[in-house]
Amino acid sequence: MRAQWLEFRRSPTFKQGLGINILLGFLGVYMLINALVVGFAASFIIAEYYPEQDIIHKFGGLFASYLAIDLVVRYLIQKFPVISITKYLTLNIKKLSLIRYLLVRSIFNFYNLLPLFVIIPFFFIQVLPDMTAAGSIMWLLTMLCLIYLNHFISFWLYIKSFKQPVVTYIIIAVLLVLILAEYKGWLSISGFLSDVMVNIYSTALVSIPFLVLTAIISIVYRVLRDSTYLEDHQKSNAKFASATIGLPFLTKGSKVSQLIQLEINMIWRNKRAKLFLIMSLALVPYVLLWLEDIKESIFFLIISSLFMTGSFMLNYGQLIFSWNSQHFNLLMTHKIELEDYILAKYYLLAASCIILYFISLPLAFIDSLILWSNSCIVFYCVGVVTFIYIWLGIYFSKRIDANASGFFNYEGFSIAHFIVMIPIIVIPILIHLPFSLLGYDHFGLVILAAIGIAGILCHKLLVRQVVKALQKKKYKLVNAFSSTT
Amino acid sequence: MIRLEQVKKTYQGQTALEIENLACHKGEIIGVVGNNGAGKTTLFNAILDLIRLDTGTAYSKDEDVSASELWKSYTGSYISEQFLLDFYTPDEYFTFISQLHQISQIHLDQFLLQFDELFNQEIRGVKKYIRDLSKGNQKKTGIVGALIGDPEVIILDEPFANLDPTTQIRLKHIIKSISDPDKTILISSHDLSQVTEVSDRIILLESGQVIKDLQKTAETLKELELYFNVA
């Protein structure tokens, strides 16, 4: 299917997001290398941690739990190339060959490749010397079967989720409960599975995974065949509108408050934006994980304060103007002054920092130092970081679909968004550095707060500067947001 | 009312718009016609300051649209779906725009009454987001949104496309009824007979240039049809 390759090559995300693709590519290679190391070391690791158990036996059990987690991860992240064929349906290509193409193409993906990097080294190091040749080949085949079983189950779930999302939620919930049960030690599923796996390749049971695999492939095949109609790929998402979110103090008043209200509704009613909101709330307790480091190093303290008070801004702010890409022309042509627009953005980011500051207040019970640093950094966030993001948004914004699913969605990001994290983290540390070297840690924090307060006091002035920049760049944004691909 | 002077816009070497001098006056309904890529939307975008012109200036009420934001308060436009708020219901959308113009909900409701026939009960009171509406209903919402606030300049790109015949006829009546000596209305269309019927001046664009600029007479439609036949 040459057309598919061209579609990938010529898609604007390929060119624009080249940096991102390279980054993701590196991440992928890194994970493969990790897997390879695990594969080579597996027998030694198991021998060390579970000295009394049979290595192959235990490996099977661990592998079973990996498969379960893998299934959940796949469900959340993996995308199958189902939708991409819809445009070929009317062409003179046989439906069956299209489906066969879909099935074959889906096999070659990262999630299927990753476990192979673990299994194959393990096979040569441990299994082959330990077992008979026939037995070990059976073992390998069983493993492969299980991986592809996972693959096709998640494929099936993926198609199903278009029609009956509820069913898949139940299945995922059951799986999660099983994983939890295993983890807590209520049930030993992995033990049971590893028993099964050890016995499987020594008996006639070996045919079972093969049979199940063939069965699931034929189910997927049939489901695909019956659902190659356009309507099956369009989720009927004509949901009933939820009530307008109107904050009492925002309903009457200036245009700025009207625009803030618009933005809040936008966040609430668009999947991806909403996910960003939830994620940033979830990030706050995350800081507890490196509590020990925070106590030791003032720099960790500053960084964690940045993440606590600014987590919404650091996430949401990266796409600050992109969120409006689907209605940007409206904002530019209706009776809305650019200054009000920017002010609304500023107030929203600032409010998020202040709200997160109050949410993270209970952490003060753990360490008063956190409270102290949060109180200083929140000023810095509101006065300085907000403007870095707004200013940056003017230069690096792309069209996004705010309602698209949010997991592992890199739409609208460019390499610049990753690089910007560096100055955001490094600048406050650099400002603080001379003071901490002299031993005035607290004073340094006060200085950061003072810079922030200066930014807050001058915010009208800064907003006007941003408006000037936006006036020059707005044509570029209009153009970037209107290219529909 | 609206004036373009020495305007030129090129995309990658291709001329998209090249207008020496074009003035649109109060009280005119102007139909802009031309084939795909003739520069109709580019012309509208230039007036709405959505593209940066290579040379020249677009004036609205003698003010440079790229230097002042005043025109936004008296200009209503609907060019594409990007002029909608896709996560709002139509009612919320109308309310949002009317709040921008400081129009009370009561006045808005009164204003919207005249469109009841056009809406065909598929827009007002519907508890659906605009992104879930059909293309035709989205268009109706956008067009009516552009009319809120009694704008003096109204710009509609392809208002008749995607609409069913009944709605097209109703929309024609609406456009005629809102025109008054203080308003300038610009509409583009591929449908020659529709656009000649509504407008009293026709501008024919090709490769970004004004080929013809006619006051409508009984002969206009024939003249246009002849032109497009040859071209």
- Say which residue, B181 or A231, is predicted with more confidence: B181
B31 touches A: beta carbon within 8 Å: no
* Among B85, B127, B84, B206, CA closest to A261: B85
The C-alpha torsion from A44 through A46 and A51 to A55, rounded to 10°, is -100
Interface test with A, best of B47, B129, B155 (most A CBs within 10 A): B129
- Distant-in-sequence, close-in-space partners of A302: CB < 8 Å, separation ≥ 6: A373, A377, A428, A429, A432, A445, A448
Query: Is the pLDDT assigned to residue B150 strictly greater than 80?
Result: yes
pLDDT in tens, B204-222: 998 888 988 888 888 888 8
Task: Give me B84's structure tokens.
Answer: 């909608």
Rounded to the nearest angstrom, the minimum Cα separation between B64 and chain A is 13
Rounded to the nearest angstrom, the minimum Cα separation between B225 and chain A is 32
- Say which residue, A253 or B196, is predicted with more confidence: B196
Which letter, b or e, does each residue of B194-228 get, where b requires 16 or more Cβ atoms within 10 Å of its Cβ? bbbebbbbbbbbbebebeeebebeeebbeebeeee
Question: Quick one: pLDDT at residue B14?
Answer: 85
Q: In the sheet that B209-215 helps form, which strands lie side by side, from edge to edge?
A: B75-78, B153-156, B184-188, B29-33, B201-206, B209-215
Question: Quick one: pLDDT at residue A467?
Answer: 92
CATH 3.40.50.300 is the classification of domain B2-81+150-230: yes
Question: Quick one: pLDDT at residue A206?
Answer: 61
Closest Cβ opposite residue B99 in set A258, A329, A337: A258
Residues of A in CB contact (< 8 Å) with B are: 237-241, 244, 255, 258, 262, 265-266, 269-270, 326-330, 332-338, 402-403, 471, 475, 478-479, 481-482
Spans in chain A with pLDDT lower than 70: 1-21, 50-54, 57, 75-95, 131, 159-169, 172, 179, 182-209, 225-253, 288-289, 405-416, 483-485
Question: Quick one: pLDDT at residue B225?
Answer: 84
Q: What's the complex ipTM?
A: 0.87
pLDDT in tens, B60-111: 998 998 888 889 999 999 998 889 998 888 998 998 899 888 888 899 999 9
Residue ranges of domains in chain B: 2-81+150-230
Chain A residues touching residue B73 (CB < 8 angstroms): 335
Question: Quick one: pLDDT at residue A182?
Answer: 67
Interface contact B100-A481, CB threshold 8 A? no
Chain B residues touching residue A479 (CB < 8 angstroms): 51
Length of chain B: 231
Question: Quick one: pLDDT at residue B154?
Answer: 94
**B93 → chain A, closest CA residue:** A262
pLDDT in tens, B103-121: 888 999 999 999 988 888 8
Question: Quick one: pLDDT at residue A12?
Answer: 46
Question: Quick one: pLDDT at residue A197?
Answer: 63
Taking the model in full, what pTM does it have?
0.72
Contact between B31 and B199 (Cβ < 8 Å): yes
Contact between B90 and B139 (Cβ < 8 Å): no
Question: Quick one: pLDDT at residue A84?
Answer: 55
Residues A137-145: contacts with CB under 8 Å, at least 24 apart: A138/A200, A138/A201, A138/A206, A139/A56, A139/A201, A141/A206, A141/A210, A142/A197, A142/A200, A142/A201, A142/A206, A142/A209, A143/A63, A143/A115, A143/A119, A144/A119, A145/A209, A145/A210, A145/A212, A145/A213
Interface contact A481-B129, CB threshold 8 A? no
How many Cβ pairs within 8 Å bridge chains A and B?
84
Contact between A35 and A113 (Cβ < 8 Å): no
Question: Quick one: pLDDT at residue A40?
Answer: 77
DSSP B128: B
